[in-house]
């Protein structure tokens, strides 16, 4: 993936990892469009920056995705990089029959959202030079955290879906998976100061160094996530599941 001269769309670009990706790619000489449900954090992200734009988008809403895709391509015809970063993470208690609204919303946002947005932009992207899609999964795609079962499942699905997309779009669109470890953001309440989670700035420094490698790694894996990413291969999967369960 080229690291400058792109026009990039980043969902969830108003906070956390998405906001940092947006600002850092913009600083490298990319036009960046940030999208999310709330305009206020998006406006804060782009404030005072050149070549940054904010657009409202709710990835839970299929009709909104279709309308948004048409608008973003009309306004930014050189769009060539999509970063599917928006996501939610909810705790779920599976020990009794319960309302599964959290599970349903998690699947719609984290899995159907990227599938629908990618689909809506595919015809455009395949005709763009240096086209790329970055899908944000998680270390929890590889070892589940038992308290967030549907979240883990959506991330495992995104990992698998990304591999299929990579094969089908070979030669037309480069597919990159970004699998973060636990990072200090507001993904869950209180997480931005939680001990043991990686400071956002440290995470982003490592991530941007990996993005600068040529060719870009298929999976952007910082050191901290490798314990989870390679747990099965390295024979410590059960130990990792147990370790996460105690967190
Ligand atoms: N932080 C971690 O420890 C960690 C670890 C592994 C993976 N990840 C992944 O990294 C990605 C970014 O998370 P983060 O940690 O940076 O948390 P975050 O700050 O909460 O970012 C999530 C972003 O997604 C947006 N979003 C949520 N629902 C949306 C919807 N329906 N439509 C459009 N945008 C939506 C939010 O903006 P609005 O609320 O304004 O819509 C927000 O800006 C997520 O996919 C997450 O699963 C994070």
Question: What one-character-per-residue DSSP string does 214-247 give?
Answer: SSPPSEE--GGGHHHHTTTTTT-HHHHHHHHHT-
Is 1 part of any domain? Answer: no
Is 165 part of any domain? Answer: yes
Provide the residue range defining the domain that includes 184: 7-245
Is 95 part of any domain? Answer: yes
Ligand 1 binding pocket includes 53 (Cβ within 6 Å): no
Ligand 1 binding pocket includes 228 (Cβ within 6 Å): no
State the CATH number of the domain containing residue 131. 3.40.50.720
Phi then psi for residue 150, to 5 deg, are: -70, -35
Answer yes or no: pTM beyond 0.75.
yes
Q: For residue 247, what pLDDT is reported? A: 81
Looking from the CA of residue 109, the nearest atom of ligand 1 is 31
Q: 186 C-alpha to center of ligand 1: Å?
A: 8
Q: Please choose, from the candidates 132, 139, 138, the residue with its C-alpha nearest in 3D space to the C-alpha of residue 216.
A: 132
Can you list the residues of the chain whose pLDDT is less than 50? none
Is 228 part of any domain? Answer: yes
Is 2 part of any domain? Answer: no
**Alpha-carbon span 162 to 113, nearest angstrom:** 14
Is 208 part of any domain? Answer: yes
**Alpha-carbon span 97 to 15, nearest angstrom:** 34
Ligand 1 binding pocket includes 6 (Cβ within 6 Å): no
| Model confidence pLDDT, tens digit, residues 157-193 | 999 999 999 999 999 999 999 999 999 999 999 999 9
Calculate Rg over the CA atoms of the chain.
Answer: 17
Q: 239 C-alpha to center of ligand 1: Å?
A: 28
Q: How many domains are contained in the chain?
A: 1
């Amino acid at each position: 993936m080229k690291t400058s001269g792109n026009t990039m769309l980043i969902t969830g670009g108003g906070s956390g990892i998405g906001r940092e990706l947006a600002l850092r790619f913009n600083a490298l000489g990319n036009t960046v469009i940030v999208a999310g449900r709330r305009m206020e954090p998006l406006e804060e992200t782009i404030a005072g920056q050149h070549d940054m734009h904010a657009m409202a988008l709710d990835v839970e809403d299929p009709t909104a995705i279709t309308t948004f895709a048409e608008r973003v391509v009309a306004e930014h015809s050189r769009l060539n990089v999509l970063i599917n970063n928006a996501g939610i993470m909810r705790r779920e208690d599976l020990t009794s029959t319960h309302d599964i609204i959290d599970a349903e919303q998690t699947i719609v946002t984290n899995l159907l959202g990227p599938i629908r947005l990618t689909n809506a932009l595919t015809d455009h992207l395949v005709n763009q030079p240096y086209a790329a899609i970055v899908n944000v999964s998680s270390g929890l795609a590889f070892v589940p955290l038992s308290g967030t079962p549907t979240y883990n499942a959506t991330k495992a699905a995104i990992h698998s879906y990304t591999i299929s997309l990579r094969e089908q779009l070979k030669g037309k669109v480069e597919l990159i998976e970004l699998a973060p470890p636990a990072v200090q953001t507001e993904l869950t309440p209180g997480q931005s100061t939680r001990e043991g989670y990686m400071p956002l700035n440290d995470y982003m420094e490592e991530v941007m160094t990996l993005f600068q490698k040529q060719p870009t790694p298929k999976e952007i894996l910082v050191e901290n996530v490798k314990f989870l990413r390679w747990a099965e291969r390295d024979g410590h999967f059960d130990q990792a599941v147990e370790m996460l369960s105690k967190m």
